[in-house]
Chains A and B, each alone.
Chain A
Amino acid sequence: MKLHRTVVVLLAFAMPAGAHHEFQTFVQSHSGRPVNCALCHTSPDGPEGTGAGQIGSLTEGERERLNRARAAFEPSPVVDSPILNDFGNLLVARLGKRRILELRSKPELVAAELGFANDLDGDGIPDAQEYLDGTHPLSRHHGAPLRLFWHELRAHAFQVAMLFAATAITLYGLISVLRGFALRLQAHESGDAP
């Protein structure tokens, strides 16, 4: 077991900081939704390159943050890699880099190991569930449609009730005005109008 861990750690340092396509492949086949590297990375094109959020564009300070994050082989309270987004950093912080590398062969276990308590975007859908659904864990406007709908409906129950009351009252008022006009017209036609 110790040897296995050592090999994983050595491999992790030796490997380039590429995105792990095993997770992307699993999420796409499980959810039926296309996803890209922006699920966990800052750049949708992954960490390698010279674009914003990619290794080639990092400043000296960001490189130091990257190196600190790369050393997080075991779970740690805070991971702040500049090439990862908040969800990616949460994954490394909760699982540790070593476990993430191990999970590349079992990407279906990521959600269970991450747990369903975190909701970074506050849309009511746990991050682990968003991973399974192939939706973005950092956008409160993005989630599995039915889950999002029921959560928002519960969250906005008061506003929905007020909207119903406002619509009903406005309709009642408008209909009463129309009926009044109609009665007035009828009275005018029959010569009963004052």
Chain B
Amino acid sequence: MSTATDPLSSRVARFVRERLPAEKLNARQLLIEKEVPQHKASWAYYLGGLALFFFLIQVVTGLMLLFYYQPTVSDAHASVAAISEHVAGGALIRNLHAWSASAMIAVVIVHVLTTFAMKAFARPRELTWVSGMTLALIVFTFGFTGYLLPWNQIAVNATKVGLQSIEALGQYLPGELARWPTYVRETIQGEPSVGQATLSRFFALHVILLPLATVAALGVHLLQVQVHGMSRGVDVEQVKTERFFPFFVIKDLSVWGVAFFVVCVVAMCLPFDALLPYPLLEPFNPLGSTPDGIKPEWYFFFVYYPLEILPYWVVVAGSTLVLGTMFLAPWIFGRTSRRTLRVLALGAAAYFLLMTFFGQTVYEILKGGQP
């Protein structure tokens, strides 16, 4: 037990020893003797593996798309169209990439909410939580950067809106700080308007930097999960357990099999583009007018509609507060009961569903007209 009188170095060393116990870093402890709790919420233990599975689909299909995709403003749209129209299996691979991206983000959101509700961040799993939150952020950044790559009307215009919202932050900052959001936008954008430099940067982020960051964060996350095992997750002293190997692994594989079948059937039978109005899928025309219906992907609706409804500073302050609170959950909610955490998670889930499925209606009720 650490005390306030211990020197900082000793407390840090104790923290690291507790999170990375050397005696547990062997195959027997990490794999063979690992037990997984069994209770009515055990289904939540499969979500992390499912998110990993969808990420693996992203990697494989993304590598295949790389053979044909051209990251230039003159050819990007045509190369994507060529993949769908002329490459054998191209439409299936592209749809698999798009559908599994959405599935991965949906699963990550549910995973974050369930682990929060189960208090899976409690000591000694703080690093599991922080690395998981980092992964969640990376996944959303994957979505934002990948959205621009087809270089169609919705891609470029939605990216412009996203980048402009970063710059708008400057008006609330004092003195020299007020220019920082502009520097950030210009750095991301690479030129005065969204163009070739932006596409090149987003492409580099999407296919190199973010995957490397994912591998690093995923390594820490998986190691922590295996070292400390799954959190008990419920307020019951005695819970049944099952062996991780082979029983849980077999069930995990079965879930992956079902997910693979479902996402393949959906990708085979429903092009992702069919969900958008066709004018938004036309090549971006810098001289043309902005078409109606420009919106970000569905997983940004929870912040997009509030931005359209509320003052900008309210949304930025709220988002920063929520994000900071989520990252620091192990220290902020360390003494909070699971019951309270469940209520908070349910509230967050309800808000997310409301904004995702009925955000447009909420906007029309509160503001009237289209955003």
Chain A interface residues (CB < 8 Å from chain B): 33-36, 38, 44-45, 134-136, 139, 141-145, 148-149, 152-153, 156, 159-160, 163-164, 167-168, 170-171, 174-175, 178-179, 181-182, 185
Contacts and interface: CB of A to CB of B under 8 A. Distances in A.
Contact of B246 (A141, A148, A178): A178
A47 B84 CA distance: 28
A167 B274 contact: no
B344 interface: no
Listed from nearest, the 6 A-B pairs whose CB atoms lie closest are A152-B269, A182-B246, A141-B271, A171-B257, A34-B292, A136-B278
Main SS class of interface, B: helix
The interface centre, meaning the residue of A141, A167, A171 with most chain B CB atoms within 10 A of its CB, is: A141
B274 A135 contact: yes
Nearest to B272: A141
Given A148-B270, A148-B271, A167-B260, A175 B253 contact: yes
A162 B250 CA distance: 22
B334 to A, nearest CB: 37
Binding site of A, secondary structure by majority: helix, strand, loop or mixed? Answer: helix
Given A142-B271, A143-B274, A182-B245, A175 B250 contact: yes
Contact of B257 (A144, A167, A185): A167
18 contacts: A34-B280, A34-B293, A36-B279, A135-B274, A141-B84, A141-B271, A141-B273, A141-B274, A145-B274, A148-B270, A153-B265, A159-B268, A160-B269, A163-B264, A167-B261, A168-B257, A178-B245, A179-B246
Interface in B62-94: 84, 91
A178 B278 contact: no
A34 B265 CA distance: 28
Interface of B: 32, 84, 91, 245-246, 249-250, 253-254, 257, 260-261, 264-266, 268-271, 273-275, 277-282, 288, 291-293
A38 B249 contact: no
Given A152-B269, A185-B32, 20 more contacts: A34-B277, A34-B279, A34-B280, A35-B278, A36-B279, A38-B278, A38-B282, A44-B282, A44-B288, A45-B288, A141-B84, A141-B91, A142-B281, A145-B270, A152-B270, A160-B269, A174-B253, A178-B245, A178-B250, A179-B250
Contact of B270 (A149, A160, A174, A178): A149
B257 A170 contact: yes
